[in-house]
Structure 1
Amino acid sequence: MTKRTPIEPFKIKVVEPIKMTTRAEREAAVRAAGFNLFKLRAEDVLIDLLTDSGTSAMSTHQWAGVMEGDDSYAGSRSWYRFEKVVKDLTGLRHVIPTHQGRAAERILFGILCKPGMTVPSNTHFDTTRANIEVTGAEALDLPCAEGKQPGLLAPFKGNMDVDALRKVLAERGRARVPLVMMTVTNNTGGGQPVSLANLRAARAVCDEFGVPFYLDACRFAENAWFIKQREPGQAGRTPTEIAKEMFSLVDGCTMSAKKDGLSNIGGFLCTNDDALAQQEKNLLILTEGFPTYGGLAGRDLEATAVGLEEVLHEDYLAYRQASIAYLADRLDRAGVPVVR
């Protein structure tokens, strides 16, 4: 018998009541908000599909970590645990905690970007674009051809057009391109994955022109899972092994832990550049906090450290993909357009 829906690979130990509303009540709430969904009260939203960012339920191990949070201003135990997990995952030398991903973007681009510069990407997320453009630089999207066709079935529609990247770097040169950023998965492009082959090809082009290569790593675990499922030669590897190879191809990354950190808040910025890391830490202190907490409480560092490990569990990733595939299939059958 064909499996219709996935079985959750977890027990539900705590529940939160949902306010039940009628159609008339929902219509009244939307009108009162001026038809601006961001002004709705969350309690008036019966089914909230706005985002999964920061809204994930936490595991028992994460809640246990919350109780162990050390809020010492400098050198807290929670910081060292967080740093170890991030370094083990990414292999990058410098780990800088931030309160969420956009703070990491602001610090990185605030240092590297100047008016007249260009930052190419497969597709920039909206906060990434804004943090680049506020410096006077250009946020340039270079999606692959398949990614421009929402209804097309293809395994890696999040890929970057590497030929277009080479052309941009050849025309503008290293002095005008401070870095290249690959977003995994390609959020603005519909959450589409990027293949290892594409990451390697982009890395090779960056090396050719001496340009640093970065990941916007918000959904690195989902991307690793799609690589395992779809890319030839990758089925026998674990998501952790694939994720580590993804990070091994870059010089640094930004991360919102509210996504694949499975936490309610948090993020980080990583680099292998010693001089750049010092600049980033100096700017961090001005607006986020000391480099061993970055605007986060010890409990958030602990919860994120656990989440970064648990998010790579295969049962969880299989459940997450199957759940969304089930919903998309039913919407498609009902004639509702979906990004394939």
Structure 2
Amino acid sequence: MDISKYPAEPFRIKSVETVKMISKEEREKVIKEAGYNTFLIDSEDVYIDLLTDSGTNAMSDKQWAGMMQGDEAYAGSKNFKHLEETVREVFGFPYLVPTHQGRGAENLLSKIAIKPGQYVPGNMYFTTTRYHQEANGGIFVDIIRDEAHDAGLDIPFKGDIDLNKLEKLIEEKGAENIAYVCLAVTVNLAGGQPVSMANMKAVRELTKKHGIKVFYDATRCVENAYFIKEQEEGYKDKSIQEIVKEMFSYSDGATMSGKKDGIVNIGGFLALRDEDLFLEAKELVVVFEGMPSYGGMTGRDMEALAIGLKESMQFEYIQHRILQVRYLGEKLKEAGVPIIEPVGGHAVFLDARRFCPHLDQEEFPAQALAANLYVESGVRSMERGIVSAGRDINTGENHKPKLETVRLTIPRRVYTYRHMDLVADAVINLYKHKEDIKGLRFVYEPKQLRFFTARFEEI
């Protein structure tokens, strides 16, 4: 591997958190007590935590300083005004409704934009997004390009919407029966795959012709912008800020979890262009989140998010962020470990189907792989496969996604390249004795979003 391709961290470390490595025997006991669910492991028993990049970021000195200026007024906080101004500047949306995190925004959008029985096409489902859509009577339809479901196919912009699928859905169901198009940038469960600017433009043109709105999941939009700058013709010399602004010019609004590309530990928002939808969202946010000027966030957290959004536009920051993830992916590829290709923006996804070919999908190979990786190394990861996909709300049968993966999710500004080396070594060592990984079965299965709290036992 050519290490010169990977820039050093564009920051200095000012504060540290001590972590410890417990013994393998202790980890075997921990995972069994956790029901082989990595979500149920105590943080203090984890050595390198790659469960998620959501809210696990390291904030900057400017963000911490901003938190000391929190205006915790119940209404009319100055920090809300700063966040509102920042969202207008960065994304171009005139209206902002803050929420406690991204799923709060998903709930609001689903309630104001979906009529029961309407279809919500999107470029691959996400767990909480689909839950809110279905809970409000929507019917999710996957219209991502077919190539996104092929883990080993290394092509750019696998997150693109298939325009033929979208047009066919409109023709079959009628434009009036399409609530809106949900466009995620990037696509998490496809492996953090980006969407091209050309595809965003084309989706906007098609939906405009039929009077259909388009809402983005903006959670990792800065990562998406980097891929556009790196790989799409005509954007090499544009700034990240310019690319982000253009991306969202093709949408009617967006939900965002600030806990990812906002580089904070909590917070999110719903941003809109339509004033009528905004007024509806303002009424509902009082019921579910809080006053429209804080929406479940403290003043200090709104300030940190406003500053974090600006910091995420810095090229040096996002370049290091993307390439650190790519570094881990390339190390695993060189060792022959099967992963989703190309490496996406926020995580490396192990392809559990090829990693554990001896396990049937109903034996939850990705869940088993994540559990065994923890025992092997103290590294915590997350299942993104049949367990996360849940059950069909009508038939009760398991959804069986083509992608059965384990997500190694890299928090922002937290770990170094040496940490990535340790993770790579652990995965490679586990791959050498992958046949020892046993399948799992449910001991406890909750009805909703089961991957968070389900418990398993080895078969």
Please tell me the TM-score bracket, short chain as reference.
over 0.9
2:268 is matched with which residue? 267
Q: CA deviation at 1:175?
A: 2.0
2:191 is matched with which residue? 190
1:233 is matched with which residue? 234
Query: Distance between the aligned counterparts of 1:121 and 1:112, measured in 2?
Result: 14
Change in 2 beyond 3 A, CA 1:5/1:93:
closer
1:79 paired to 2:80: yes
Is 1:173–1:209's contact at 8 Å kept on the other side of the alignment?
A: no
Q: CA deviation at 1:92?
A: 1.2
1:323 paired to 2:324: yes
In structure 2, give the amino acid aligned to 1:70: D
Query: Distance between the aligned counterparts of 1:265 and 1:48, measured in 2?
Result: 18
Q: CA deviation at 1:35?
A: 1.3
Runs of 4 or more above 4 Å deviation: none
2:205 is matched with which residue? 204
1:114 paired to 2:104: no
Is 1:228–1:236's contact at 8 Å kept on the other side of the alignment?
A: yes
Q: CA deviation at 1:117?
A: 0.8
Query: Distance between the aligned counterparts of 1:235 and 1:4, measured in 2?
Result: 18
Query: Distance between the aligned counterparts of 2:99 and 2:40, measured in 1?
Result: 27
In structure 2, give the amino acid aligned to 1:326: Y
Is 1:124–1:183's contact at 8 Å kept on the other side of the alignment?
A: no
In structure 2, give the amino acid aligned to 1:161: D
Q: Percent identity?
A: 46
2:338 is matched with which residue? 337
1:292 is matched with which residue? 293
1:168 is matched with which residue? 169
Q: CA deviation at 1:6?
A: 3.0
SS of residue paired to 2:319: helix
Query: Distance between the aligned counterparts of 1:216 and 1:129, measured in 2?
Result: 12
- Residues 244-285 of structure 1 deviation map (CA, whole Å, 9 limit, x = unaligned): 000111111100000110010000001111111111100000
- Residues 40-86 of structure 1 deviation map (CA, whole Å, 9 limit, x = unaligned): 11111112111100000000110011001101111111111010001
Is 2:6–2:320's contact at 8 Å kept on the other side of the alignment?
A: no
Is 2:157–2:193's contact at 8 Å kept on the other side of the alignment?
A: yes
Is 1:113–1:132's contact at 8 Å kept on the other side of the alignment?
A: yes
Query: Distance between the aligned counterparts of 1:111 and 1:5, measured in 2?
Result: 44
User: RMSD of aligned C-alpha atoms?
Assistant: 1.1
Q: CA deviation at 1:300?
A: 0.3
Query: Distance between the aligned counterparts of 1:333 and 1:86, measured in 2?
Result: 41
SS of residue paired to 1:3: helix
- Residues 199-256 of structure 1 deviation map (CA, whole Å, 9 limit, x = unaligned): 0000011101100111100001000000000001110100110000001111111000
Query: Distance between the aligned counterparts of 2:5 and 2:56, measured in 1?
Result: 26
Is 2:201–2:250's contact at 8 Å kept on the other side of the alignment?
A: yes
1:29 paired to 2:56: no
TM-score scaled by length of structure 1:
0.98
Query: Distance between the aligned counterparts of 2:183 and 2:24, measured in 1?
Result: 42
Q: CA deviation at 1:335?
A: 2.1
Is 2:119–2:139's contact at 8 Å kept on the other side of the alignment?
A: yes
Aligned length: 340
Q: CA deviation at 1:315?
A: 0.6
Q: CA deviation at 1:4?
A: 6.2
Is 1:262–1:311's contact at 8 Å kept on the other side of the alignment?
A: yes
Segments of 5+ residues of structure 2 without an aligned counterpart are: 342-459
- Residues 75-106 of structure 1 deviation map (CA, whole Å, 9 limit, x = unaligned): 11111101000111111121000000100010
Query: Distance between the aligned counterparts of 1:158 and 1:249, measured in 2?
Result: 16
Q: CA deviation at 1:128?
A: 0.5
Segments of 5+ residues of structure 1 without an aligned counterpart are: none
In structure 2, give the amino acid aligned to 1:152: L
In structure 1, give the amino acid aligned to 2:190: G
Query: Distance between the aligned counterparts of 1:129 and 1:236, measured in 2?
Result: 36
